[in-house]
Structure 1
């Protein structure tokens, strides 16, 4: 007998290295589906991408990174240095991407919702 598992969101480390990372900054389908299934208006409770990255992904990155938040219609949070090396050219595909580990981090959707509700006030 298999128990039900909680749905989760996967944050890919490589999303930190691209202008188009993290679904180009748009809410992922898994979040929209979760909201629909739980009667949550996703236009009233915004997807908390920056908060998720800062809370769950960055603490797990094994390299020394610095990040920048960018007011843009694209990915709003990116790594600008990895182990002291500027990687901003990587954002646009003009330089090879360094390896960030771990490759990904899974976040339970209840935690995504918790951060979204906190952000919404």
Structure 2
């Protein structure tokens, strides 16, 4: 094996390990929240969010809601905690298909923000925190 293919294999292994660790976090947090007797858990995806966020935070942070929701559902079911909480998801839900996928992954409630904001006249300046639009 040459040095290039070895470094690619090492990078792939490191990336896989990092992703596995990241995907476990939502489930562990959700289990703690359910044990603390919360009535609702919201799993937000990286696509949604506020216009007040920094541009680098919007572009480089988070994971898709599908991954977080699936991991949360699985962890709650495996720990017999699923019946204690309602699962909600948001983060660029736009179509009926998005709602159906979320429901199949375990969500019972769905959050919409960007679509209704645009329907109400939001011009997407991304300066919500300045109140200038």
The reply to whether TM is greater than 0.5 is no
The one of the two structures with greater contact order (alpha-carbon pairs below 8 A, sep at least 6) is 1
Whose strand fraction is larger, Structure 1's or Structure 2's? 1
Q: Please, what TM-score do these two structures have when normalized by structure 2?
A: 0.26
Higher gyration radius (CA): 2
Whose helix fraction is larger, Structure 1's or Structure 2's? 2
